[in-house]
Amino acid sequence: MGQLLIGLINGAFYAMLSLGLAVIFGLLNIINFAHGAQYMLGAFVAYFALQWAGLGYWWSLLLAPIAVGLFGIVLERTMLKRLYHLDHLYGLLLTFGIALIVQGVFRHEYGSSGLPYGIPSQLSGGYNLGFMFLPTYRAWVIVFSLAVCLATWYVIERTRLGSSLRAATENPALVQAFGINVPRMITLTYGFGVALAALAGVLAAPIYQVNPLMGADLIIVVFAVVVIGGLGSIMGSIVTGFALGVVEGFTKFFYPEASNTVIFVIMAVVLLVRPSGLFGRSTRAR
């Protein structure tokens, strides 16, 4: 029971990160390998805000996504937009390169052991649930990220804005003809996806160290989650994120030695059985 809850908490991080990736891939057709670095940047913005400006956790929840989202928008405007007509591979290589550069710079400046970041006082402590001790902060993570995930899903799948976004990816020329500024919409979407990563970074800062490598450690797992869920599927990435967190949590209990590999084993199996992922639309030719 306790392990189930722990799994859900870790799943919340996977879900938020894979959601951002799914949004970016689904709407921009870019495989954003810089996602881990942007997650790390989010945590660092929170750290800097506290160190330099004395702004606490709550401000960071707002500031970090905006700051890192802007960084993403600059990236998209100056570099990524040149790659849309090329193969996926180019976008992947570019973002991967950016990730390596950003991580390298931060590692050089701040070392590899990470920097301390405390839990906000309103959320410290915890509840004794009888079967386990649940830290308040972890409960907050799960509620908050679930809310963010569902809101994102709702906006993209159920609102007018979302439908024009989806339409723009299917047929940009036609949507443009209806008077919608497609390039601007794509830029903002990328910024939003990146902001989601930064938000996850702020959520993670009090749990893990604020560490230049935190994204690199996580991004591969998150990609596996996206592949299992089906590239580009919004709901798929949310559900698989939480589900795989739970699977990993149970592995840590029953056979901890395999806890790093279990997700990749599942990925291999899913790819063999359903190459387009559990929630992927196999008819979509890309």
Partner 1 sequence: MKVLGIAILVAALAVAAVPVHAQVSDGVIKIGVLNDQSSLYADLAGQGSVVAARMAVEDFGADKKGMKVEIVSADHQNKPDVGSSIARQWLDVDKVDVIVDVPNSGVALALNQIVREKGKALLISGAATADLTGKACSPNTIHWTYDTWALANGTGNAIVKTGGDTWFFLTADYAFGHALERDTEAVVVKAGGKVLGKVRHPLNTQDFSSFLLQAQASKAKIIGLANAGGDTTNAIKQAAEFGVVKGGQNLAGLLVFITDVHALGLDKAQGLIMTETFYWDMNDKARAFAKKFAERDRQIHPTMIHAGVYSATLHYLKAVEALKSDDGTKVIAKMKEMPTDDPLFGKGTIRADGRKVHPAYLFEVKKPSESKGPWDYYKLRSTIPAEQAFRPIDQGDCPLVKK
Taking the C-alpha atoms of residue 23 and residue 245, their distance in angstroms, rounded to an integer, is 20
**Contact call for residue 213 and partner 1 (CB under 8 A):** yes
Phi, psi (rounded to 5 degrees) for 212? -55, -25
**Contact call for residue 146 and partner 1 (CB under 8 A):** no
Q: Which of 113, 122, 163, 282 binds partner 1 (CB under 8 A)?
A: 113
Contacting partner 1 within 3-22 (CB under 8 A): 3, 6-7, 9-10
Taking the C-alpha atoms of residue 212 and residue 210, their distance in angstroms, rounded to an integer, is 7
Nearer to partner 1, 17 or 27 (CB): 17
Give least dist CB 200 to partner 1, A: 13
Nearer to partner 1, 194 or 214 (CB): 214
Q: Which of 56, 126, 162, 183 binds partner 1 (CB under 8 A)?
A: 126
Those residues with Cβ within 8 angstroms of residue 242's Cβ, 6 or more apart along the chain or in another chain: 8, 11, 12, 14, 15
Taking the C-alpha atoms of residue 39 and residue 214, their distance in angstroms, rounded to an integer, is 8
**Contact call for residue 2 and partner 1 (CB under 8 A):** yes
Contacting partner 1 within 45-74 (CB under 8 A): none
Taking the C-alpha atoms of residue 187 and residue 81, their distance in angstroms, rounded to an integer, is 8
Site string for partner 1, 234-263 (x = CB under 8 A): ---------------x--xx--xx-xx---
b/e 218-234 (16+ beta carbons within 10 angstroms → b): bbebbbbbbbbbbbbbb
Q: Which of 58, 133, 154, 178 binds partner 1 (CB under 8 A)?
A: 133
Nearer to partner 1, 126 or 183 (CB): 126
Q: Which stretch binds partner 1 (CB under 8 A): 20-28, 35-43, 129-137, 231-239?
A: 129-137
**Contact call for residue 98 and partner 1 (CB under 8 A):** no
Closest C-alpha among 67, 57, 73, 85 to residue 24: 73
219: its two tokens: 């991004």
66: its two tokens: 């905006």
End-to-end CA distance of the chain: 41
Helical H runs in the chain?
Answer: 2-28, 35-53, 57-78, 88-110, 136-158, 160-170, 172-177, 182-204, 214-229, 234-254, 262-273
Give least dist CB 111 to partner 1, A: 4
Give least dist CB 101 to partner 1, A: 14
Give least dist CB 138 to partner 1, A: 7
Closest C-alpha among 276, 235, 213 to residue 39: 213
Nearer to partner 1, 254 or 273 (CB): 254
Task: List residues near partner 1 by CB under 8 A.
Answer: 2-3, 6-7, 9-10, 107, 109, 111-116, 118-119, 126, 132-133, 135, 137-138, 207-209, 211, 213-214, 217-218, 249, 252-253, 256-257, 259-260
